[in-house]
Each structure stands twice: as C-alpha cells, then as structure tokens.
Amino acid sequence: MSAEKKTDFHIVNHSIPRRDGRVKVTGKAQYVADLKLIGMAYAKVLRSPFAHAKIISIDKSRAEAHPGVYCVVTGYDLDGLNPYFGHAVKDHPLLAIEKVRYAGEPVAAVVAIDERTAFEALEFIDVKYQELKGVFTPEEAMAEDAPLLHEKKFEAGALRGFEGEVTAGKGTNICQTHKIQWGDVEKAFKEAASVVEGNYYFPMTYAYAMEPYVSVADVTDQGVTIYSSAQHPFMVRHDLKSIFNLPVSKVRLIVPFVGGGYGSKSYTKVEPLTAACSWKAKRPVKLQLTVEEAMLTTRSDDAYTWMRTAADANGKIIARQAKIYMNTGAYAENSPLVVEKSTNRCVGPYAIPNVLIENCSLYTNTVPASSYRGFGCAQVTLPGESQIDELAAKIGKDPYEFRLANAAKPGEEFFPGMRPFDGTLKQDLDTAAKAVGWGTPLPKGHGRTVAVSGSDAGAYPLTSTAVRVHADGSVTIMTGSTELGQGSHTVLPQIAAEALGVPFENVNVVSSDTAITPYDRSTGASRTTTLMGSAVLEASQEAIQQMVVMAADVLKVKVEEIQTVRGGVRCGEVELNWSQVISKFYALPDGEVIGRSYIRKSGKFAALPVFWEAAATGVEISVDEDTGKITMEKLATVGDVGLAINPALAEGQDIGAATMGMGIGLFEELVYEGSQLMNGSILDYRLPRFSDLPKHVELHLVQNQDGVGPYGAKGGGEASLNSMAANIANAVDRAVGVRIREAPLTPERVWRALKDKKSKMED
Amino acid sequence: MKLSIQLNGKPWQVDCEAQETLAEVLRNTLNLNGTKVSCEVQVCGACTVLIDGAPVSACTYLAYEARGKSVTTIEGLEKPDGTLHPLQQAFIDEFAFQCGYCTPGMIMSAKALLDENPKPTRDEIIHHMDGNICRCTGYVPIVAAIQRAAEVIAKESKK
C-alpha cells in the first residue's frame, strides 16, 4: 500500500496530451531507420536455407570483389571477439559458427556502399552445407534419437532475471525447466467433486513492430557506439561489452524513438552483428532488416499444455495441475524467464490450495523465441481461463460468479512466497461484466464471457535516475527508459512536475543513452511507470531536499525554518520559487541541482513481484455457423492500475494489448511446415485491421491506489492481452456449444468443430 | 534521370535511378523521413503519400511514375505558421498513436478520405482505412480522431 493516498492532483491522473505528439504527427520524430552517419556503409545478411546443417565452407571472394563492397563478414572472421551473446544463456553466435540451427539464421553479412550493392553481392557468396536432421517441435526435440542443437555447456547469465539455474547445455535439447508445487495435488484430485482436463495449444506468434529491427554501429578505438531500436539499451550494452571485451564505459547504446516493441525488441538482436560489421569495415554500418527478416529473428514461444483443474462440492477450486512444453526455437534468448513466468502464471489470480505445475522448454530448429507482451502469460491463460469456464459449466455455476468466488482477494497471500495480491479482482470483473451486459438476453449464435489475468510482473527493481532542476526552474529528467509508444516521455514528466510543483511544459526528458542517462535495467514487463516513475518521484523529492538546504543558506536561516510549498519554499513572509533558490545560491541566473534516486530490491520493492498485473476483459462474439467466422460484437477492458498517471495512455495500453490478444485468438499464427516457416511475410501473416475492430468497445480503469509505484500506481499494458484467446474460446463455447482448445480460432477450426459436433449428434 | 515533381506545393527536380521507389527518393535523396517504410509490399500503409490527391504506397511506387505529378507527404500538411492540419491535431487530441511509426501513413490515408468524403460514416472510415496497419492502438482512437477532424473541417468550412 502506498503510504499517502493523495487525491488532489494537479498534473498526474490527468490525460495530458502526449509529449511526443507534434513530432509524431508531423513526421519529424526520428527513429534509427531515419539515421545516417557520415561515411556510413550498409549491411545485408545472407541467411541459411537449411534448418540444421554443418557449414563446410564459405567462399566470399567473389562477393568481396564486387564493386562497392567493403567487406564480407562470416563466422570465420570473428577472431578477436567473443562472438556468443545471450543474457540468460550465452548460446547465440552473432553469425552462424560451424553450423546453422534454423532456416533463416544469419550466415554472412555484406558491407557495401549502399543497401542495393550489399544485397546484390549476397548471391556471390558460396556456402557449402552438409544438412543435418532437424527437430521442429518439443516432441521431436525430446525424442531419444533427436540430434542435439547445442553441444556446448553454458553458464547461467548473471542478468537472466530469475534466481533459479539454467537447464540449457546439459547434453539434451532442454533449454529450461521450471516447477512450482504446494499442497497435495494427487489427494485433492481424488477428493474433488468435479474435474476438467484437457490439452491446449497456443501458437507461435510474431509481434510485428512496424519498425523492423535496425541498428547503426560505429566501432573505433574510442569504443563501441550503437544506435538501436532496442527496448533495453543497458542489457544490450552488457552483451556488447562481453563481445568486444570492453569496460562498460566504452560501450554506448543510444535509442531514439522506437517504432513499436511489445517485447519483441527486448534484449539483444541485430546489434552484435552490426557492430562486427563496423569492426571489420572500419566505418559506421547500418543494418536495417526487412519485415521478412524480422520474422526470422524473434517470435513468441508456442506452448503445448496439458492441464486439469478441480473444484469441491461448494464450487471452490481446490487443485490445478499442468505440464507445459514450450518450443523455444534455436536460441534461448529470454525464453528461460518466459518459462519461469508461464509456470507461475498457470495459477492465474486464484487462491488454489493444491498446485503442481511443471514446465519444460526445448530447443528446436526454428526461429528463436523470446519475450512477447505478457511473457508466457497468454500461453497459459488460454488453458487456465478456459478451464475456469469449463469447470463452472460442469458444476452448473455462472462463470462470472465462479471467478468471483475463487479470485485472490486484496492483500491475500495466495501465491506462496510472493507479494500479497495488490489488485481488486471483484471490481475488475464487475466492471467488465457490466460493460458487456452480463445477464441480459443474447441473440442466438452470440456468446458473452469475462476473463481475468493476474500475473507476477517480471519487472525487476534495479533503476536509477537523475532529475536536474535548472536555474530558470525548468527540469530535465535523465532516464534510461525507452519511449516505445507507451508514453514514458509523457508520464515521467507528469510525475516530476507533480512532485516539484512546476508546469508540465517545463519538464523535458533525455532518454536511453547509456553514456549519459543513469542505469535502468529495461523497458518492459510493464515496469516503467512503477519503477522509473518511483525513481523520478524520489529524485524530484531529493532535489527538493537539496534546494531546502540551499534556501536556508541563501536566507541565512536554519534548515528547519524552511517550509516547502508548491513549486518552492517559504520562510516567514518570504517565498522563493526553485528558480530563485538556485539563482540566489549560485549568485547567477544559471546552474542546477541534481536530484538522484537508486531503486533496488529493498524496502517497498523487496517483495516480488513488484506488483501483480491485473486486468479483466469482457467480450461478446457471434459465430456464423455456416463459415465458422467469429465477429467481435463487444470488447471491454478493465485495467487494475492502482492510479493512472495518464488515464488516456493507460487505456490506450489496454486496448492495444487486447487487440493483439484478439488477433491471436482469431487468426494470428506462424506456421511451420517441416523445416520452413510457411507464412513468414506480412502478406501471409494475418494481423488485426480496422475491419476487425469490435463493433462496441469500452475501456475502463480501476484506480484504488494500491500499487507501490508513484501515488499508488502500478503497471499495465500486458494483462489485457493475456485473457483474450481464452475469452474468445469460452465465448464460442457459449455461443455455439463447441470447446476449442487451440488458438487461433480460425473460421476453419470453428467450422470443423461445429461439423464434428453435428456428426456426433447425428450418430 | 531527372525527375520533376510538385512536392508539397513546390516544384522540385531531383536525380533518380529507374529502379528507385518513391519512398527511397523521398527518404534518401530528399531527406523527407516522415514517410515510413515497413512491409515493403504495399500491405501496411505506413508509407502512404498522396499522388494528385490519391493515396499511394510509396514503397512500391516507382519514383519515375510520379513525374509531372503532385506529391504530398506528411511534411506538407503543417501550415507555414505552424498550424497543424485538423487531422494532425485530432490525432494528438484523441491519443490516436503510440509508437508513431504508422502515423504519417495513417494521417495521409485519412486525408485522402476526408478530401473525397468530408463526412464519412464509421463504416466508411473503417473501409477506407483498412489498408493501414497499426499495432499499438487497436484502431479505436484513430477512428475517433478521423471523426473529430471531419467535424473540425466542417466547422471551419462554414466560417
């Protein structure tokens, strides 16, 4: 709980227009794609056609002789570098070394005077492969005669983001395992009044940030400087430091505006390869991937889940058990954390006395999987929230009432060892149910459902910031948080302006330059408002403390005689604003005060998760029984965000997340046929469009100031995605009486399920 | 070859190669980076510009095809005194963007709609805008922004 429940806010809790509004609507906002450095060359990547193959030889002589080509870089040219990266498991070579592990893996890069020349030269590189047997699903990867993807042993990366060990590199294709257990599951299932059980599949998906991965690297004796579309510049810096064996102070990551992330730009992607190109070509190099290449870079883990859930005669959930196999692709990336999180998130926001969840992710010869908005939560919320509805139906309870009866209560320690629940699910569910008209009659072929998500936010508390108050009273926030569109450049100044009592317009943000801005672990896991927001608040307060001491010095009084007022200080009859305090202190109208803050896993941030990310969604759908096509009639989102620093931005996160979740529920899916990704282009990968917009949308926020963040705020922006696939599956069941346990619920899948139901009825 | 176009209301002559797309010439030669490139296959709408008032995907439109034509990009909407086009202002007021990468194309597509049909219905907006992808906003505030801009333009024209 927040110590003070302030409510008379001047600037926070107001929907102030975005700070980056004007530059973004006039086309002036700069992204890495727009960047040109003097003398810059361009790189293009040759990718493996084979999913698993030994590299016998690479002849690059013809390509290097091509006019306009500076150099060609291959896995044989990396002597002097530590070419493997990965914050959890250092398993990822920046270019394939000795073998390739998925179709589409970078094998060589051409650096040339322009992109076209680099592209032309790719076909002059002659690579000889010896194809190896590949594995493409967890089942194949686990088979006794399965070929090994990684022969090396790996140590756990210090920055892996969880406390357990890594499983990778122990002589199998297992990338990571995780298990949670409490109570006595076997006994509970034996004694249960009712049990539901099923197998579920959640597909591999592509985040499609509109800006594909891009970076510009300049490697000189001064160090490594990289402009990147990365969400987490400080995490990328760590990988580059290791690759080039440099001190942290010689690696600089700069991130301007990012054209969408959604987790897909978490951690290191194309930066090591771009830097290696610059190192070889001895000049700045830009590597801009196409969307097709981006689809060969990162995807989400697909998940095969067996789950069962039990209730007693009173309608209380007494046990849940699940076994999950995740397909993590060729390299670990952030999947070990995804495994841990999806294991925990199987429990849902429910108080269940007997739990056993076992999770195992496997390396396969497919595109590496990593973070995707919600970190493994959507994968297990499909089975989790499906079974809540299935169980409610089995025992004849209203699924909304059944959820209310079992949801974690505010302050309840429902997950052993974790922070007590800090949301209000009853209010979330009530709001969602009301928004979709719960209890009112529905036309035939329509279904209505609500679902919840409550996840242990992955936000790790390690954040620092500096808030500089200038002699004219204006303020610069130095933040390592990246503006991905979520609105950090608006929300952080709102917090500083509120705390310092200065106008919002006078607070500026400098962000995401590791040489300048203080350390922030990442921009992901819904952490920025809570953690960086807290840091900005604390740093503003620390600046005030310094200015109080300065005011005492200036007025030649004791510090205790100085009283703070909004935007300045008072001492008796004398009032000074911050500008006057600083100017008088330095005896010139110039200079500044620097407020600082260091946030770590301590004090109010000691218990993890830092917050429970909670949200409810409600939908009404209709099903065309002739075609199986689902139409979204209504969608409601309810973000349980503690306090929305900027309500319009918080609602924007929810509708954006819910729409991505709707896409996965209805049609998004990366499809492999054997070794090849079959729909690795935007022509073939179906994304939500304007015409998929639900006919009626309601956005709600629940604001009980129950978070540990500034003024009781906590994170949002993932949870509305997580429950959507389950919501759609549940609504289809209620509309037309078929239970589909895999996403997406394409017209074909719904139509086939209806046909099966019909033929069973006829039998 | 020489390419003469009317660009954002002014005549321009630039050198371009036969294979260069309009997006390449705008971004690389003319340093007009507001036109964003994403899918490169005319599916996402991020690179939408107006050619003689009609929306076109600059990623697949050869620069040479624009010869002698009028090209409007996102940079051409703001008035010299800094006043934003009603669509630009409405996108700010309705929070109709997040990352901003689709925004220039989104605004140009919407401009083509409002120029042709100043009072579109919600269904007409959805139908016209279906070729523009946004991954951040869920489209809801974009529809609201286009509706708001249409109202503003209607009011302004009455004055």
- The reply to whether residue A25 touches residue B41, judged by beta carbons under 8 angstroms, is no
* Domain extent listing, chain B: 2-76, 86-158
Helices (H) and strands (E) in chain B, counts: 5, 5
In 10 A of CB B122, how many CB atoms?
Answer: 13
**Residue-range domains of chain A with CATH:** 21-29+460-605 (3.30.365.10), 376-458+609-762 (3.30.365.10)
For residues B72 and B49, the answer to whether their CB atoms sit within 8 Å is: yes
- What chain B residue is nearest to A698 in terms of C-alpha separation? B140
What's the pLDDT at A156? 79
Count residue pairs from A and B with Cβ separation < 8 A. 158
Q: Closest to B99 (Cβ–Cβ): which among A21, A116, A259?
A: A259
Please state, in angstroms and rounded to a whole number, the distance separating the CA atoms of residues B79 and A187. Answer: 73
Cβ–Cβ of B33/A27 closer than 8 Å?
yes
In one-letter notation, the amino acid at residue A207 is A
Amino acid type, A302: D
Q: What is the DSSP string of A253-309?
A: EE--B-S--TTTTSS-SSHHHHHHHHHHHTS-EEEE--HHHHHTT-EEPEEEEEEEE
Angle of helix A233-244 versus helix A271-281 axis, rounded to 10: 40
Q: Which residues of B touch A487 (CB under 8 A)?
A: 98
Residue A741 CA to residue A752 CA, distance in Å, equals: 13
| Chain position carrying tokens 């009712």 | A194
Residue A236 region by backbone torsions, left for phi larger than 0, else alpha for psi between -120 and 50, else beta? alpha
Average pLDDT over chain A, rounded to an integer: 96
**CATH code matching the domain that covers B2-76, chosen among 3.40.50.1220, 3.40.50.150, 3.10.20.30, 2.130.10.10:** 3.10.20.30
> How far from A153 is each of A55, A160, A168, A533, CA to CA, in Å?
21, 16, 8, 40
Minimum mean pLDDT range among A6-10, A276-280, B4-8 = A6-10
Contacts of A484 in chain B (CB under 8 A): 98-99
Residue-level pLDDT at A167 = 86
Select the residue from A15, A25, A486 to test the B interface by mutation, using most B Cβ atoms within 10 A.
Answer: A25
- Asked whether A744 and A664 are in contact (CB, 8 A), the reply is yes
- Report the distance separating Cα A450 and Cα A730, nearest Å: 9
What pLDDT score was predicted for residue A138? 98
Yes or no: say if A379 and A304 are a contact pair by the CB < 8 Å rule. Answer: no
Better pLDDT: A183 or B157:
A183
Residues 47-66 of B with CB under 8 A from A: none
What the block records as the tokens of A51 is 């999913």
Cβ–Cβ contact B72 with A under 8 A: no
* CB nearest to A486's CB, from B35, B98, B140: B98
Chain B partners within 8 Å of A24 (Cβ): 97, 100, 103
Amino acid at A498: E
> Could you report the per-residue pLDDT of A579-596, keeping only the tens digit for each?
999 999 999 999 999 999
| Mean pLDDT score, A36-64 | 98
| Res A762: pLDDT | 86
Q: Which of B99, B127, B132 shows the shortest C-beta gap to A258?
A: B99
- Chain A contact set for B84 (CB, 8 A): 22, 25-26
Report residue A386 as tokens. 């499906």
Q: Is the pLDDT of residue A373 over 50?
A: yes
Enumerate residues 96 to 125 of chain B having a beta carbon within 8 A of any beta carbon in chain A.
97-104, 107, 125
Report CB contact under 8 Å: A485, B97.
yes
% pLDDT > 90, chain A: 95
B87-142 pLDDT per residue, tens: 999 999 999 999 999 999 999 999 999 999 999 999 999 999 999 999 999 999 99
- The alpha carbon of residue A702 and the mean position of all alpha carbons in its chain are separated, in whole angstroms, by 22
Using the beta-carbon criterion (under 8 Å), do A690 and B102 form an inter-chain contact? no
Q: What is the mean pLDDT of residues A303-314?
A: 97
Question: What is the reported pLDDT for A4?
Answer: 56
Q: Which residue of B has its CA nearest to A487?
A: B98
pLDDT at A153: 82
Whole-number Å distance between alpha carbons of B32 and B9: 14
Among candidates B36, B38, B88 on the partner chain, residue whose Cβ is nearest the Cβ of A26:
B88
Query: pLDDT class for A293, splitting at 50, 70, 90?
Result: very high
Q: Where are the beta strands (DSSP E) in A554-679?
A: 563-565, 568-571, 574-577, 592-599, 612-623, 630-640, 672-673, 676-677
Q: DSSP for A226-257?
A: EEE--S-HHHHHHHHHHHHT--GGGEEEE--B
- A27–B130 CB contact, under 8 Å: no
The answer, for B74 touching chain A at a CB cutoff of 8 Å, is yes
Q: For residue A658, what is the enclosing H or E element? A: helix A647-666
User: Residues of B with CB below 8 A from A15's CB?
Assistant: 95
Q: Touching check for A410 and chain B: CB below 8 Å?
A: no
Strand partners, A634: A620, A696
Does residue A165 have a pLDDT over 90? Answer: no
Nearest-CA residue of chain A relative to B77?
A: A26
Asked if the C-beta of B129 comes within 8 angstroms of chain A's C-beta atoms, the answer is yes
DSSP states of A535-562 as a string?
Answer: HHHHHHHHHHHHHHHHHHHHHTS-GGG-
Alpha helices in A396-440 (DSSP H): 399-406, 425-435
CA–CA–CA angle B48, B54, B57 (5° rounding): 25
Enumerate the residues of chain A whose CB falls inside 8 A of the CB of residue B41.
681-683
Which chain B residues are closer than 8 Å to A489 by Cβ? Answer: none
**Alpha-carbon dihedral angle through residues A663, A667, A672, A676, given to the nearest 10 degrees:** -80
Instruction: Give per-residue burial for A239-250: e unless 16+ CB within 10 Å, then b.
Output: bbbbbbeeeeeb
**B83 touches A: beta carbon within 8 Å:** no
pLDDT in tens, A106-161: 999 999 999 999 999 999 999 999 999 999 999 999 999 999 999 988 877 888 88
Which A positions 184-213 lie with beta carbon below 8 A of chain B? 207-212
Q: Do B36 and A485 touch (CB under 8 A)?
A: no
Tokens 């592509």 -> residue: A206
Indicate yes or no: pTM above 0.95: yes
- According to CATH, the topology of domain B86-158 is DNA polymerase; domain 1 (1.10.150)
Any idea of the CA torsion for A313, A411, A459, B95, to the nearest 10 degrees? 90
Whether residues A683 and B34 touch (CB distance < 8 A) is answered with no
Average pLDDT over residues A563-567: 97
Going by C-beta distance under 8 Å and a sequence separation of 6 or more, which residues neighbour residue A561? A552, A571, A572
C-beta atoms of B95 and A649 within 8 A = yes
Structure tokens that stand for A53 in this block: 């193959």
Region A178-187: mean pLDDT is 98
- Determine contact, residues B84/A25, Cβ cutoff 8 Å: yes
* CB contact A684 to B (< 8 Å): no
CA separation for the pair A159, A165 (Å, rounded): 12
The pLDDT score that the predictor gives to residue A7 is 80
